Amino acid sequence: MKRVAVLTSGGDSPGMNAAIRAVVKTAYFYQIEVFGVLRGYEGLIQGTFEPLNLERVHNIIHRGGTILKSARSERFKTEEGRKQAYEHLLKHNIDAVIAVGGDGTYTGAKVFCEEFPEIAWIGLPGTIDNDLYGTDFTIGYDTAINTAMEAIDRIRDTADALNRLFIVEVMGRDAGFIALRSGIASGAEAVLIPESKADLPRLLRRLEQRAKNPEHAFIVVVAEGDEIGSSLALKQKLQYKYPRWDIRVVVLGHLQRGGAPTCADRVLASELGFAAVEALRKGIKNVAIGKVHKEIHYTPFEQAIKHHNDINPNLLRLLEILA
């Protein structure tokens, strides 16, 4: 293993920089050269490679976003695009690629490995959604739930002052992890997530109770992917049923992706970046690396993309009682 490329792909997440830094510093320790690829898989196709040295990763562990930029690449989904990527990797004598991203990034890695097995791949879980199999937590998730929690706390102050009902939409296209945790932590009166069918009837029951005494703030946290529709559609439904209530919608959106990573995310990203280089040195390849029950865990891409982490049923039960 003489030369490794590292890239960040798909939606950015806080902690990606800490992972890049850990890869570069560990590789430096073992005298392995590192090239950064700008803009994820699109950069592989365009050949935007830059040598990464210690100076380049100095002072980035605390920064959100990614110094390598990220992208969603339609061309990488085509055989022709991947062939171009392969040619650029050959031209730069790259032995292995470390890709930090989510489910889509792992899918791209799996397809590429099957077509060009001579280049080793390692995937690191970089997504705020925490929906990746093979790791208890993804890089960026802890920061995102803390950001969402702080935002909901602020909303509660104003909701309480004017007895308003707020619907707060958080990220999570297919998964309710952010909604569930930030909802529990902020004491939300209701949480709607795609994984739980019981949420809406429970919300309606809670609103019947509120109708008897609307002199309180009421916060509903909704995952953006919840099947009952967008937060605005939910507002319309509730407003129709309770026309006299002051109901507001806040979509937290991309502010959940930004900001300095939390301590937990910086440490996780550092451990996984380090583990990626260690794995390649041991000849381990074509796996996603995560942490399960405090141990480093390798999951073949095939398996990682077929499965999804389940919502902890104990947290759902907790919510039922505490909300």
Nearest by Cα to 315 from 156, 178, 170: 178
107 binds ligand ATP (CB under 6 A): yes
Site residue total, ligand ATP (CB under 6 A): 18
Region near ligand ATP per CB under 6 A, out of 7-15, 58-66, 276-284, 310-318: 7-15
Cα of 184 vs its chain's centroid, Å: 19
Instruction: Output the smallest distance, CB 117 to ligand ATP, in A.
Output: 16
101 near ligand ATP, rule: CB under 6 A: yes
User: For residues 323 and 108, what is the distance between their CA atoms, to the nearest angstrom?
Assistant: 40
107 vs 156: CA distance, rounded Å? 40
Q: What contacts 53, CB < 8 A, 6 or more positions away?
A: 24, 28
- Smallest gap from Cβ 264 to ligand ATP, in A, equals 18
Which helix (H) or strand (E) segment holds residue 299: the answer is strand 295-300
- Per the CB < 8 A criterion, the answer to whether 248 and 155 are in contact is no
In this chain, which stretch among 96-104, 147-155, 190-198, 311-319 interacts with ligand ATP, using CB under 6 A?
96-104
Q: Does 11 bind ligand ATP (CB under 6 A)?
A: yes
Residue closer to ligand ATP (CB basis): 44 or 155: 44
Among 6, 7, 10, 291, binds ligand ATP (CB under 6 A): 10
Contact 134/297 with Cβ under 8 angstroms? yes
- Find the binding residues for ligand ATP in span 271-290 (CB under 6 A): none
Beta pairing class for 218-223 and 165-170: parallel
Q: Where in 65-94 is the site for ligand ATP (CB under 6 A)?
A: 72-73, 76-77
Sheet with 49-51: list strands edge to edge: 49-51, 33-37, 3-8, 96-101, 120-125, 287-292, 295-300
Binding-site string for ligand ATP from residue 129 to residue 168, where x marks contact by CB under 6 A and - marks none: x---------------------------------------
Binding flag, residue 108, ligand ATP (CB under 6 A)? yes
Smallest distance from the beta carbon of 92 to ligand ATP, in angstroms? Answer: 19
The secondary element (H helix, E strand) that includes residue 22 is helix 16-29
For ligand ATP, which residue of 104, 134, 273, 290 counts as binding (CB under 6 A)?
104
Residue for token pair 């002072």: 59
For the chain, the 3-state helix, strand and coil shares in percent, each to the nearest 5, are: 45, 20, 35
Q: Is 129 in the active site?
A: yes
Report the site for ligand ATP in 109-128 (rule: CB under 6 A). 111, 127
CA atoms within 13 A on the CB side of 63: 12
Q: Which residue is nearest to ligand ATP (CB)?
A: 104
List 12, 103, 129, 265, catalytic entry: 129
What positions carry a catalytic annotation?
Answer: 129
Q: Would you tell me which residues interact with ligand ATP (CB under 6 A)?
A: 9-11, 41, 72-73, 76-77, 101-105, 107-108, 111, 127, 129
